[in-house]
Amino acid sequence: MVDNGTAVKTRFPSRAQAIDALLARDEGFRDMCSDYTTAEEELRKWRSSSEQHRDARITEYGELVEELAAEIDATLDRAAVVPFPKR
């Protein structure tokens, strides 16, 4: 099993430092990364399966992986914004 940070850093290699920083301080982000890792593992499993519902599961997990990746990307973008101090 790949750890949560590794799976996400594989998806977003140029953002590895920001991912590490968020993993260290944000439980919600860690949970999101855990969900991403699980969905990606399930997608890989179904791609190599010969079970009857294979194609439907590949579609479902593929969509879930993409949705989670978009959510992770948006979270990384928000974390990169530094607000100006109020005067």
Positions of the chain with pLDDT under 70: 1-2, 83
Is residue 1 domain-resident? no
Is residue 62 domain-resident? yes
Q: How many domains does the chain have?
A: 1
The token pair that represents 83 in the structure block? 């607000």
Is residue 14 domain-resident? no
Q: How far apart are CA 41 and CA 33, in angstroms?
A: 12
Is residue 76 domain-resident? yes
Q: How far apart are CA 47 and CA 57, in angstroms?
A: 9
Q: Within a 10 A sphere around the Cβ of 34, how many other Cβ atoms?
A: 16
Is residue 67 domain-resident? yes
Is residue 11 domain-resident? no
Which pLDDT belongs to residue 1?
44
**Global pTM value:** 0.87
Is residue 87 domain-resident? no
Residue 44: domain span = 26-80
CA 26 to chain centre: 14
